[in-house]
Amino acid sequence: MCFRPASASRPIECPNCGMKVPVVGGVKQKKCPKCKADLTQVEAKPEEKPEDEAGTEK
C-alpha cells in the first residue's frame, strides 16, 4: 500500500506560461517543459480553499 502525504505532491506553476509542473519525490524541474522558462526561483504554492468552502457550515 502506498501512502503519499498531500503536501508532497504540490505542483509549481510556471511564471511565464502558467503550466503546472509536478514535483516528483521532492525534486522539481529546473526548466519548464513547455516554454523552457527558469523554474529554480519558483516555490510551490499551498492550495487555497475558497472562502465560502473553508469550514463554514450553514
The answer on pLDDT for 55 being more than 70 is no
Model confidence, pTM: 0.56
Using CA atoms, how far apart are residues 44 and 58, in angstroms rounded to an integer? 32
- What is the pLDDT of the chain when averaged over all its residues? 77
Using CA atoms, how far apart are residues 8 and 26, in angstroms rounded to an integer? 7
- Between 23 and 1, the more confident residue is 23
- Between 4 and 45, the more confident residue is 45
Q: How many CB atoms neighbour CB 29 within 10 A? A: 15
Percentage of the chain beyond pLDDT 90 is 29
